[in-house]
Amino acid sequence: MNENPHVRAQRLLAESTVEGVRDADAAWLREHLACCSDCEREDAKARELLYALRSVPVRVPRDLATRTQLRLRLREQELSRAANGSLWLWLVTAASWLLGVFSAPLVWRVFSWMGSSLGVPKLALEMGFVLWWTVPALVAVGVVLHQRQLSAGTKGN
């Protein structure tokens, strides 16, 4: 790749300041700075600016590290609780689906028997059967959404 030597020098200067460069790149940069006064002047300005920035005093509270560690531990516990709650929700949902699938024929027989005994129309039986499975699911969704809203309100305070 044929890169402009000045652009390459600027890129290598930035990299050497932040993360370091390979020995071959460092040697090329030294040679280029020795023969290019513009890039050498740019390097000197950058070093001067960096020195000035490092000499600016920054006041940090003494307990900053301790407070940060405490907040991280609390966040980790919060995420762990959320993951455990989510796992239980998935397990209960899976169990509910399995019970629903295996008990559907029995529930339909009960609905059919009640319908024939009470003289309920077939459409009403079918609607009752559908509601038998959807109402508990809708209630569960409402509970989950309510819990999320409560936890979001707690986090906002």
Most trustworthy range by pLDDT among 17-21, 47-51, 95-99: 47-51
What is the pLDDT averaged over residues 133-142? 82
Whole-structure pTM value: 0.37
Give the domain extent around 131. 64-156
Q: How confident is the model at residue 154 (pLDDT cuts 50, 70, 90)?
A: low
* 37 and 79 together in one domain: no
**CA separation, residue 93 to residues 4, 39, 99, 150, 152 (Å):** 62, 66, 10, 21, 23
- Position 72 scores a pLDDT of 93
Q: Are residues 49 and 79 in the same domain?
A: no
* DSSP letter for each residue of 34-46: HH-HHHHHHHHHH
Number of domains comprising the chain: 2
* Nearest partner of 38 among 4, 81, 63, judged by Cα: 4
Unique residue bearing structure tokens 């699911």: 137
- The number of CA neighbours under 13 Å toward the Cβ of 68 is 6
Sign of the dihedral defined by the CA atoms of residues 42, 46, 47, 51, in that order: positive
Which tens digit of pLDDT belongs to each residue from 31-76? 999 999 999 998 899 889 888 888 888 888 889 989 999 999 998 8
Residues 103 and 31 in one domain: no
Residue 11 and residue 79 in one domain = no
Nearest to 32 by CA among 10, 51, 16: 10
Same domain, 79 and 145: yes
* pLDDT value, residue 142: 84
